[in-house]
Protein backbone atom coordinates (compact mmCIF):
# COMPACT_ATOMS: atom_id res chain seq x y z
CA UNK A 1 0.00 0.00 0.00
CA UNK A 2 1.09 3.58 -0.60
CA UNK A 3 2.17 6.14 2.01
CA UNK A 4 -1.16 7.94 1.54
CA UNK A 5 -3.19 4.77 2.11
CA UNK A 6 -1.23 3.74 5.19
CA UNK A 7 -1.10 7.19 6.80
CA UNK A 8 -3.28 9.93 8.08
CA UNK A 9 -2.17 13.48 7.45
CA UNK A 10 -1.78 15.97 10.26
CA UNK A 11 -0.51 19.50 9.79
CA UNK A 12 1.58 18.49 6.80
CA UNK A 13 2.95 15.25 8.31
CA UNK A 14 2.13 11.67 7.33
CA UNK A 15 1.55 9.51 10.44
CA UNK A 16 1.03 5.71 10.46
CA UNK A 17 -2.69 4.92 10.80
CA UNK A 18 -1.82 1.79 12.75
CA UNK A 19 -0.64 3.81 15.75
CA UNK A 20 -2.28 7.23 15.27
CA UNK A 21 -5.88 8.37 14.95
CA UNK A 22 -7.96 11.56 14.86
CA UNK A 23 -8.68 10.89 18.55
CA UNK A 24 -5.03 10.50 19.51
CA UNK A 25 -4.20 13.77 17.77
CA UNK A 26 -7.00 15.52 19.62
CA UNK A 27 -5.70 13.92 22.84
CA UNK A 28 -2.21 15.32 22.33
CA UNK A 29 -3.64 18.72 21.46
CA UNK A 30 -5.41 18.79 24.85
CA UNK A 31 -2.65 16.98 26.74
CA UNK A 32 -1.62 18.59 30.05
CA UNK A 33 2.13 18.60 30.56
CA UNK A 34 3.42 18.52 34.14
CA UNK A 35 6.49 20.53 35.18
CA UNK A 36 8.46 17.38 35.96
CA UNK A 37 7.69 15.56 32.69
CA UNK A 38 10.66 14.40 30.64
CA UNK A 39 10.08 14.27 26.89
CA UNK A 40 12.52 12.43 24.62
CA UNK A 41 12.21 13.73 21.08
CA UNK A 42 13.64 12.11 17.98
CA UNK A 43 13.25 11.87 14.26
CA UNK A 44 12.57 8.11 13.75
CA UNK A 45 15.57 5.79 13.92
CA UNK A 46 17.71 8.24 15.88
CA UNK A 47 17.75 6.45 19.24
CA UNK A 48 14.14 6.59 20.46
CA UNK A 49 14.00 3.09 21.96
CA UNK A 50 17.40 3.63 23.50
CA UNK A 51 16.12 6.73 25.35
CA UNK A 52 13.00 4.83 26.42
CA UNK A 53 15.44 2.54 28.26
CA UNK A 54 17.83 5.18 29.61
CA UNK A 55 15.38 7.80 30.92
CA UNK A 56 13.13 5.55 33.06
CA UNK A 57 16.25 4.00 34.59
CA UNK A 58 17.66 7.42 35.50
CA UNK A 59 14.33 8.59 36.90
CA UNK A 60 14.12 5.41 39.00
CA UNK A 61 17.69 5.59 40.33
CA UNK A 62 18.73 2.50 38.36
CA UNK A 63 15.87 0.28 39.58
CA UNK A 64 15.38 -2.24 36.76
CA UNK A 65 11.66 -2.81 37.40
CA UNK A 66 10.40 -0.47 34.63
CA UNK A 67 12.56 -1.98 31.88
CA UNK A 68 11.90 -5.53 33.02
CA UNK A 69 8.14 -5.31 33.48
CA UNK A 70 6.78 -2.60 31.14
CA UNK A 71 7.08 -2.58 27.33
CA UNK A 72 8.91 0.49 26.08
CA UNK A 73 5.78 1.94 24.38
CA UNK A 74 3.97 2.00 27.75
CA UNK A 75 7.00 2.89 29.86
CA UNK A 76 7.69 6.08 27.89
CA UNK A 77 4.68 6.39 25.58
CA UNK A 78 4.62 8.44 22.41
CA UNK A 79 2.68 11.64 22.90
CA UNK A 80 1.00 11.37 19.53
CA UNK A 81 0.09 7.68 19.55
CA UNK A 82 -3.25 6.06 20.43
CA UNK A 83 -1.63 4.15 23.29
CA UNK A 84 -1.08 7.30 25.39
CA UNK A 85 -4.71 7.78 26.41
CA UNK A 86 -4.85 4.13 27.59
CA UNK A 87 -1.75 4.28 29.81
CA UNK A 88 -1.49 7.91 30.84
CA UNK A 89 -3.19 7.43 34.21
CA UNK A 90 -0.79 4.63 35.11
CA UNK A 91 2.36 6.71 34.54
CA UNK A 92 4.23 7.56 37.72
CA UNK A 93 5.71 11.03 38.21
CA UNK A 94 8.10 12.15 36.94
CA UNK A 95 6.64 10.84 33.67
CA UNK A 96 8.84 9.74 30.79
CA UNK A 97 7.27 10.59 27.44
CA UNK A 98 8.41 10.24 23.84
CA UNK A 99 7.65 12.08 20.63
CA UNK A 100 8.55 12.19 16.95
CA UNK A 101 6.65 15.46 16.57
CA UNK A 102 8.08 18.80 15.51
CA UNK A 103 8.39 21.54 18.11
CA UNK A 104 5.63 23.47 16.35
CA UNK A 105 3.20 20.60 17.08
CA UNK A 106 3.65 20.68 20.85
CA UNK A 107 0.39 21.41 22.69
CA UNK A 108 -0.18 24.71 24.51
CA UNK A 109 0.47 23.16 27.93
CA UNK A 110 4.01 22.22 26.88
CA UNK A 111 4.87 25.90 26.54
CA UNK A 112 3.29 26.78 29.88
CA UNK A 113 5.13 23.98 31.70
CA UNK A 114 8.76 23.46 32.70
CA UNK A 115 8.82 19.97 31.15
CA UNK A 116 12.31 19.02 30.02
CA UNK A 117 13.28 17.82 26.55
CA UNK A 118 16.03 15.41 25.52
CA UNK A 119 16.55 15.79 21.78
CA UNK A 120 18.49 12.87 20.26
CA UNK A 121 20.11 13.29 16.86
CA UNK A 122 21.80 10.73 14.63
CA UNK A 123 23.86 10.97 11.47
CA UNK A 124 21.16 11.19 8.78
CA UNK A 125 22.99 8.72 6.54
CA UNK A 126 22.67 6.05 9.22
CA UNK A 127 19.05 7.09 9.88
CA UNK A 128 18.25 6.56 6.19
CA UNK A 129 19.74 3.05 6.27
CA UNK A 130 17.99 2.10 9.52
CA UNK A 131 14.66 3.52 8.29
CA UNK A 132 15.03 1.65 5.00
CA UNK A 133 15.29 -1.69 6.83
CA UNK A 134 12.45 -0.77 9.17
CA UNK A 135 10.25 -0.18 6.12
CA UNK A 136 10.93 -3.81 5.17
CA UNK A 137 9.88 -5.23 8.53
CA UNK A 138 6.96 -2.92 9.46
CA UNK A 139 3.74 -3.76 7.64
CA UNK A 140 2.27 -0.35 8.55
CA UNK A 141 4.89 1.45 6.45
CA UNK A 142 5.00 1.50 2.68
CA UNK A 143 7.29 -0.76 0.70
CA UNK A 144 10.61 1.13 0.57
CA UNK A 145 11.45 0.11 -3.01
CA UNK A 146 15.16 0.05 -3.82
CA UNK A 147 17.61 1.87 -1.55
CA UNK A 148 17.98 4.47 -4.33
CA UNK A 149 14.21 5.05 -4.38
CA UNK A 150 14.07 5.19 -0.61
CA UNK A 151 16.82 7.83 -0.48
CA UNK A 152 14.73 10.01 -2.80
CA UNK A 153 11.78 9.71 -0.42
CA UNK A 154 14.01 10.46 2.56
CA UNK A 155 15.45 13.59 0.97
CA UNK A 156 12.01 14.80 -0.18
CA UNK A 157 10.49 14.01 3.24
CA UNK A 158 7.88 11.77 1.61
CA UNK A 159 7.89 9.47 4.62
CA UNK A 160 6.08 9.24 7.93
CA UNK A 161 7.11 12.14 10.19
CA UNK A 162 8.36 14.17 7.22
CA UNK A 163 11.73 15.52 6.35
CA UNK A 164 14.73 15.02 8.63
CA UNK A 165 16.06 18.54 8.03
CA UNK A 166 12.70 20.06 9.04
CA UNK A 167 12.80 18.05 12.27
CA UNK A 168 16.29 19.04 13.28
CA UNK A 169 15.72 22.70 12.38
CA UNK A 170 12.49 22.73 14.34
CA UNK A 171 14.08 21.53 17.59
CA UNK A 172 17.50 23.17 17.17
CA UNK A 173 15.80 26.52 16.77
CA UNK A 174 13.37 25.98 19.66
CA UNK A 175 13.97 28.63 22.29
CA UNK A 176 13.84 26.35 25.31
CA UNK A 177 17.10 27.45 27.02
CA UNK A 178 17.83 25.14 29.97
CA UNK A 179 14.73 23.03 29.34
CA UNK A 180 16.42 21.17 26.47
CA UNK A 181 19.54 19.04 26.10
CA UNK A 182 20.92 17.84 22.75
CA UNK A 183 22.47 14.38 22.60
CA UNK A 184 23.75 12.39 19.65
CA UNK A 185 23.42 8.67 19.00
CA UNK A 186 27.15 8.72 18.21
CA UNK A 187 28.02 10.13 21.67
CA UNK A 188 25.94 7.38 23.23
CA UNK A 189 27.87 4.78 21.23
CA UNK A 190 31.18 6.40 22.14
CA UNK A 191 30.66 6.74 25.89
CA UNK A 192 27.26 5.78 27.26
CA UNK A 193 28.19 6.24 30.95
CA UNK A 194 29.22 9.85 30.16
CA UNK A 195 25.86 10.51 28.45
CA UNK A 196 23.95 8.89 31.33
CA UNK A 197 25.89 11.11 33.74
CA UNK A 198 25.09 14.32 31.87
CA UNK A 199 21.43 13.33 31.45
CA UNK A 200 21.24 12.58 35.16
CA UNK A 201 22.48 16.01 36.09
CA UNK A 202 20.17 17.61 33.49
CA UNK A 203 17.29 15.78 35.21
CA UNK A 204 18.44 16.79 38.68
CA UNK A 205 19.47 13.28 39.70
CA UNK A 206 22.66 12.71 41.60
CA UNK A 207 23.52 9.11 40.76
CA UNK A 208 26.58 7.23 41.96
CA UNK A 209 29.15 5.90 39.49
CA UNK A 210 27.96 2.41 40.32
CA UNK A 211 24.37 3.23 39.32
CA UNK A 212 25.51 5.05 36.18
CA UNK A 213 27.50 2.02 35.04
CA UNK A 214 24.63 -0.30 35.89
CA UNK A 215 22.29 1.82 33.73
CA UNK A 216 24.79 1.91 30.85
CA UNK A 217 25.17 -1.87 31.01
CA UNK A 218 21.42 -2.48 30.85
CA UNK A 219 21.15 -0.05 27.93
CA UNK A 220 23.86 -1.69 25.86
CA UNK A 221 22.77 -3.00 22.46
CA UNK A 222 23.27 -6.67 23.41
CA UNK A 223 21.33 -6.44 26.66
CA UNK A 224 18.47 -4.48 25.04
CA UNK A 225 18.34 -6.88 22.10
CA UNK A 226 17.60 -9.66 24.59
CA UNK A 227 15.07 -7.69 26.61
CA UNK A 228 11.56 -8.65 25.41
CA UNK A 229 10.23 -5.43 26.99
CA UNK A 230 12.42 -3.39 24.65
CA UNK A 231 13.13 -5.35 21.48
CA UNK A 232 9.57 -5.24 20.08
CA UNK A 233 9.33 -9.05 20.08
CA UNK A 234 5.97 -8.66 21.90
CA UNK A 235 4.54 -6.99 18.78
CA UNK A 236 2.75 -9.57 16.58
CA UNK A 237 4.64 -10.56 13.45
CA UNK A 238 1.90 -9.15 11.21
CA UNK A 239 2.98 -5.66 12.35
CA UNK A 240 6.75 -6.10 12.72
CA UNK A 241 8.44 -9.06 11.10
CA UNK A 242 11.85 -9.41 12.74
CA UNK A 243 12.81 -12.12 10.26
CA UNK A 244 12.75 -9.50 7.52
CA UNK A 245 14.85 -7.16 9.68
CA UNK A 246 15.20 -7.18 13.47
CA UNK A 247 14.14 -3.95 15.21
CA UNK A 248 17.47 -3.82 17.05
CA UNK A 249 19.27 -4.45 13.79
CA UNK A 250 22.99 -3.57 14.03
CA UNK A 251 23.20 -0.69 16.48
CA UNK A 252 26.38 0.76 14.99
CA UNK A 253 27.57 4.05 13.56
CA UNK A 254 28.70 4.27 9.95
CA UNK A 255 26.63 1.42 8.47
CA UNK A 256 25.81 3.89 5.67
CA UNK A 257 29.25 3.10 4.23
CA UNK A 258 27.95 -0.38 3.37
CA UNK A 259 24.96 1.04 1.48
CA UNK A 260 25.67 4.36 -0.26
CA UNK A 261 27.27 4.54 -3.69
CA UNK A 262 29.55 7.54 -4.23
CA UNK A 263 26.88 9.19 -6.40
CA UNK A 264 24.19 8.65 -3.73
CA UNK A 265 26.55 10.12 -1.13
CA UNK A 266 27.23 13.18 -3.27
CA UNK A 267 23.52 13.80 -3.87
CA UNK A 268 22.58 13.16 -0.22
CA UNK A 269 25.24 15.52 1.15
CA UNK A 270 24.62 18.32 -1.31
CA UNK A 271 20.84 18.22 -0.67
CA UNK A 272 21.28 18.34 3.10
CA UNK A 273 23.95 21.07 2.91
CA UNK A 274 21.68 23.19 0.75
CA UNK A 275 18.80 22.80 3.21
CA UNK A 276 21.06 23.78 6.09
CA UNK A 277 22.23 27.01 4.45
CA UNK A 278 21.56 30.05 6.60
CA UNK A 279 20.99 28.06 9.80
CA UNK A 280 22.72 29.38 12.90
CA UNK A 281 23.70 25.91 14.14
CA UNK A 282 26.10 23.39 12.65
CA UNK A 283 25.57 19.68 12.40
CA UNK A 284 27.73 17.51 14.67
CA UNK A 285 28.80 15.23 11.79
CA UNK A 286 30.79 15.82 8.67
CA UNK A 287 28.45 15.37 5.73
CA UNK A 288 31.04 13.95 3.36
Please report whether residue 195 would count as binding ligand PPS according to CB under 6 A. no
- The span from the CA of 33 to the CA of 80, in Å, is 13
Binding span for ligand PPS by CB under 6 A among 5-13, 24-32, 39-47, 176-184: 39-47
Instruction: Report yes or no: 256 and 151 within 8 Å, Cβ to Cβ.
Output: no
Instruction: Report yes or no: 154 and 131 within 8 Å, Cβ to Cβ.
Output: yes
Please report whether residue 46 would count as binding ligand PPS according to CB under 6 A. yes
Please report whether residue 44 would count as binding ligand PPS according to CB under 6 A. yes
- The span from the CA of 238 to the CA of 138, in Å, is 8
Q: What angle in degrees, to the nearest 10, is found between the helix axes of 164-172 and 262-276? A: 40
Considering beta carbons, is residue 202 or 232 the nearer one to ligand PPS? 232
**Closest-CA residue to 246 (of 257, 259, 255, 237):** 237
Instruction: Report yes or no: 66 and 75 within 8 Å, Cβ to Cβ.
Output: yes
Please report whether residue 219 would count as binding ligand PPS according to CB under 6 A. yes
Please report whether residue 224 would count as binding ligand PPS according to CB under 6 A. yes
With CB under 6 A as the rule, give the number of residues binding ligand PPS: 21
Q: Of residues 238-257, which lie at the interface with ligand PPS (CB under 6 A)?
A: 248-251, 255
Please report whether residue 130 would count as binding ligand PPS according to CB under 6 A. yes
**Closest-CA residue to 5 (of 14, 13, 239, 194):** 14
Please report whether residue 193 would count as binding ligand PPS according to CB under 6 A. no
Active site amino acids: 100
Q: In the complex, which residues of this chain contact ligand PPS (CB under 6 A)?
A: 42, 44-50, 126, 130, 133-134, 219-221, 224, 248-251, 255
Amino acid sequence: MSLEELSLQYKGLFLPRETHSEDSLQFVHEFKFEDDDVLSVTYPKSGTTWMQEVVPLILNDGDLTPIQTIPNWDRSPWLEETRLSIVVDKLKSPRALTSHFLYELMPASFHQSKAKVIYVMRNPKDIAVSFYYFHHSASFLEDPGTFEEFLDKFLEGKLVFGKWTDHIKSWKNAKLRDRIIYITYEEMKEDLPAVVRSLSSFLGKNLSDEVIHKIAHHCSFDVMKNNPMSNFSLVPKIYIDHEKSPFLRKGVTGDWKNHFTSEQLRRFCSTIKKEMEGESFTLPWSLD
